[in-house]
Structure 1
Amino acid sequence: MTKDAAKFLLFMSMTLGSALIGGLVIDQRWARGLELPLGLGWVFLIIVSTGFIIDGKEGAKALLSRTLLMWSLAVIGALLIAWLAIAGAGHSL
C-alpha cells in the first residue's frame, strides 16, 4: 500500500468514526443543551485530525489557524453587510 493510500484510509476511518461517535453522543439524554459545545468540539477534532493526517503537527496547526482566519473574515464580512443593510433601511424610512 502506498503512503497516499494509507493516509486516505486513515482519513476515511477518522471521518466515519467521528461521525459515528458524534451521532451516538448527540442522541444521548445527557447531551441535551450541550449541542453547541459538543458540535464545536467535534468540528475542532475533525479539523485538527485532518491536518495531522496530512502533515503532522504542523499541518494540524496550519489547518486550524487558516480555518479560524477564514471564519473570522466571514464574520467581519457578515457584520459589514448587516451594517450596510441597517444603514440603508434607515434612509428609506
Structure 2
Amino acid sequence: MTKDAAQFLIFMAMLLGSAFIGGLAIDQRWARGLEIPIGFGWVFLILVSTGFIIGGKQGAKALLSSTLLMWTLAAIGALLIAWLAIAGAGHSL
C-alpha cells in the first residue's frame, strides 16, 4: 500500500469515527443546549487531525490558522456588506 493510500484510509477512518462519536454525543440528554460548542469542537478536531495526517504538527497548525484567518476575513466582509446594506436602506427612505 502506498503512503497516499494509507493516509487516505487513516483520514477516512478518522472522519467516520469522529462523525459517529459526534452523532452519539449530540443525541444524548446532557448535550441539549450544547450543540454549538460540540459542533465547534468537532470542526476543530477534524481540522487538526486532517492537518496532522497530511503534514504532521506543522500541517495541523497551518490548516487551523489558515481556516481561522479565512473565517475572520469572511466575518469582516459580512459585517461590511451588512453595514453597506443598512446604509443604503437609510438613503432610500
Q: What's the TM-score, normalizing by structure 2?
A: 0.99
Secondary structure at the aligned position of 2:33 is classed as coil
Do structure 1's residue 49 and structure 2's residue 54 form an aligned pair? no
Q: What residue is the counterpart of 2:9 in the other structure?
A: 9
CA distance in 1, matches of 2:12, 2:35: 24
Please tell me the root mean square deviation across aligned C-alpha atoms, in Å.
0.4
2:59 pairs with 1:59: yes
Give % identity: 84
The alpha carbon displacement at 1:74 in A equals 0.3
What one-letter code is carried by the residue in structure 1 that aligns with 2:48? V
1:73 matches 2:68 = no
Counterparts of 2:87 and 2:40, CA distance in 1: 33
Paired with 1:77 and 1:51, the residues of 2 have a C-alpha distance of: 26
In the other structure, the counterpart of 2:90 is: 90
Structure 2 CA distance for aligned equivalents of residues 26 and 64 of structure 1: 23
Aligned to 1:20: 20
* TM-score, with structure 1 as normaliser: 0.99
Q: CA deviation at 1:56?
A: 0.2
Write the letter of the residue equivalent to 1:6.
Answer: A
Aligned counterparts of 1:7 and 1:22: Cα–Cα separation in 2: 22
Runs of 4+ in 1 over 3 A off after TM superposition: none
Counterpart CA distance in 1 for 2:70 and 2:21 is 27
Per-residue CA distance 1:26-82 (angstroms, 9 max, x = gap): 000000011111110000000000000000000000000000000000000000000
1:85 CA displacement: 0.1
Counterparts of 1:78 and 1:37 in 2: how far apart (Å)? 22
Gaps of 5+ in 1: none
Partner of 1:36: 36
